[in-house]
Amino acid sequence: MRAKIKQGALIACLFLFLFVVIGGGLHLNPSGALLAAATGTPLLIHLFSRRSLPRKLERDLLPSSRSPGFVPNVTESDRSHCRASETEAALPE
């Protein structure tokens, strides 16, 4: 419960900070500053929360168990598959 109150207070402070800094810095009217702060707050929260994720979790967003054809890197693909240039030479004309 206390953590949710703290997160809500931090979000409110970030919103007010963006409202004042963006509105004053860009000389926006109040509705423009409100819109800028309302769209900037979730964006900054997303960027900071994504940055604080461990790298291991960030890479494994699509586990291979759910996607059988998933290859994490193109260079690590299965060597048994033939390339398009190989199949073109094998097809009779």
Digit-coded pLDDT (tens) for 74-85: 555 555 555 555
pTM score of the predicted model: 0.51
Per-residue model confidence (pLDDT) at position 76: 54
Question: 82 in the Ramachandran plot: left (φ > 0), alpha (ψ -120 to 50) or beta?
Answer: beta
Domain ranges for the chain, please list them: 1-54
Q: Compute the distance between CA of residue 56 and CA of residue 44 in angstroms, rounded to an integer.
A: 22
Q: Compute the distance between CA of residue 46 and CA of residue 40 in angstroms, rounded to an integer.
A: 10
Tell whether the model's pLDDT for residue 41 goes beyond 60.
yes
